Structure 1
């Protein structure tokens, strides 16, 4: 078959298929974070610039799309750790990473109902994300403690618990701005005395 590989025949996906999938995921992130769980798949396809058939070829159910967006967001946050370690001081890297998590939580809030369904079908999903994010923030904390910038008596679970608490404590339209301010205060509180704010 010359026009493209059939699913499951062992061939790599075509470049345009990969691009379409990425466009759908990016559009879904935007639509779900703004429109909540009722956001339509047609709206996602429209924003991605693809037909609804293309969307369903990649993601046959709403839950499959939500899970793919969620996993992609987690992986991007894990990859961000390496970039920040190369570009920012330890305390500043932690602050920037936590701030990036706010957008992830906004997307997650918009997908909450569907994610609940997805985790019923795939109970490992939440454990997977928790493990990955705990390891990621643990790297940032260890780097900060080794550099003498951040106290060493706070664990990654403590940091993630505080972040989740800040993000879910309020649901006003401006909640993200408020949480970003709180993150700055939180990271300043983690600094060892004598360390100036980033």
Structure 2
């Protein structure tokens, strides 16, 4: 990437981060204006709003992606899936723009549109396959299936009238996806390690 293109990309990311940090207009047009670039330049680097949002939250995405091997080595497959999805949902509830971007994952029709999601989809696929191998999830389940099921939970945020509702709905989702195992709260000591 040429130095001017790299500079434009960094300015766009900085502008997006600043825009998201304070209330106001977070449209792509506004972000381009704040970055001092044209909308065409912004779209060359980030063809969709979702791709920009996923890049802005890149550090959080990297943490989710790199956590999978450690989770699978320390926890049973259904517990690993639960903990990872809790982290994903937690990020979405605290940052609505990230949740909005993730809702776009299942709507993305072309491989190009899905490319920004690839690391997260691959990480989730590893968790789903581990559960399939363990017999704790319905064979043939895909990462896309899980994200479709997760979709409604993005709307249940911390401001919900009944705070326990989000946890209850999430528990229903996990028990529905992994009925072959008694998946309980992975934070309870003694219930998450293999062989316990």
TM-score of the superposition, structure 1-length normalised? 0.53
Distance across 1 between alignment mates of 2:9 and 2:116: 27
Note if 1:161 corresponds to 2:148: yes
Cα deviation for residue 74 of structure 1 reads: 8.9
Residue 11 of structure 1: aligned partner? 2
Q: Report the counterpart of residue 34 of structure 2 in structure 1.
A: 52
Deviation at 1:173, TM superposition (A): 4.5
Decide whether the 8 Å contact of 1:167 with 1:179 is kept in 2.
no
Larger mean CA deviation between 152-161 and 97-106 belongs to: 97-106
How far residue 110 of structure 1 moved from its aligned partner, in angstroms, is: 6.1
C-alpha contact 2:11 2:35 (8 A) present in aligned 1: no
What residue is the counterpart of 1:192 in the other structure?
Answer: 180
Aligned counterparts of 1:60 and 1:154: Cα–Cα separation in 2: 36
Instruction: Name the structure 2 match of 1:183.
Output: 170
User: Any gaps of 5 or more consecutive residues in structure 2?
Assistant: 187-196
Structure 1 pair 127–76 and aligned structure 2 pair: CA distance change class (3 A): farther
Q: 1:188 to 1:84 in 2, by over 3 A?
A: farther
CA shift at 1:154, angstroms?
6.2
Quote the Cα distance in structure 1 between the aligned partners of 2:181 and 2:135: 9
Q: Kindly provide the CA deviation profile for residues 74-108 of structure 1, in whole angstroms up to 9, marking residues without a partner as x.
A: 97787455412233223343224323443448216
* RMSD between superposed Cα atoms in Å: 4.9
Q: CA deviation at 1:136?
A: 3.8
- Report how many residues are paired: 169
Report the counterpart of residue 14 of structure 2 in structure 1: 23
Counterpart CA distance in 1 for 2:137 and 2:28 is: 45
Quote the offset at 1:187 in angstroms: 2.1
Aligned residue for 1:155, secondary structure, equals coil
Q: Which residue of the partner structure matches residue 97 of structure 2?
A: 107
In 2, distance between residues paired with 1:53 and 1:44?
Answer: 6
Instruction: Describe the shift of the 1:41–1:134 C-alpha distance in structure 2 as closer, same or farther (beyond 3 A).
Output: closer
Q: Take 1:173 and 1:43, find their aligned partners in 2: how far apart are those partners? A: 27
- Aligned counterparts of 1:11 and 1:126: Cα–Cα separation in 2: 22
Matched-pair contact (CA < 8 Å) for 1:138–1:155: no
1: distance between equivalents of 2:167 and 2:112? Answer: 24
TM-score by length of 2: 0.53
What does residue 174 of structure 1 align with? 160
In the alignment, the residues of structure 2 paired with residue 80 and residue 19 of structure 1 have an alpha-carbon distance, to the nearest angstrom, of 21
Larger helix percent:
1
Q: Structure 1 regions of 5+ residues with no counterpart?
A: 1-9, 46-50
Residue 15 of structure 1 deviates from its aligned partner by: 7.8
